[in-house]
Amino acid sequence: MMRIVGRVGFYPLFFFAVICLVMGPFMAIDDIRATLQYGTPHGAYYLFMIGFCSFFLYLSIRIETLQWIYYKLPILWPVLQMCLFMLIATGLGATFLQHWAEHNFPSKGVAITLAIVSFVVVRIMMSWWFARHPASSPFVNRRYV
């Protein structure tokens, strides 16, 4: 009974987290563009989105009864990882620019530099991660004892 209640509560939130992962980078890029164009802040919820999506991805991997979705769609895990990395990169850049637009500290040039550096660093880390762990289902190399 508890498993059914847990699944009924988990899957709508997981679906919302997947939508946030896919749409989040596009929203952040639009906010970055608007912040640079108008010089005003446009929402600063990316750190919450990163935490929310990371938590539900962790739950979907950690709890065995929720892992069936990755057995049915093995490409889903690498795609969600890439989306999470992109959300982190663009979300950090948008957060730096939002801080500049709201508080005028750091300067605009420094905020743009921090946004670009955060994007490049996350992309390098993503390249390293997928070079070390090629895109595959998270359970392909698991050994059952």
pLDDT tens, the chain, 145 aa long: 667 777 788 889 999 999 999 999 999 999 999 999 999 988 778 999 999 999 999 999 998 888 889 888 888 999 999 999 999 999 999 999 999 999 988 899 999 999 999 999 999 999 998 888 887 777 666 555 4
> Both tokens of residue 68?
């069936």
Distance CA 84, CA 122 (A): 10
Residue 140 confidence (pLDDT): 65
Residue type, 103: H
Supply the pTM of this predicted model.
Answer: 0.89
Alpha helices in the chain (DSSP H): 2-38, 46-62, 68-72, 76-103, 108-132
Residue 145 confidence (pLDDT): 42
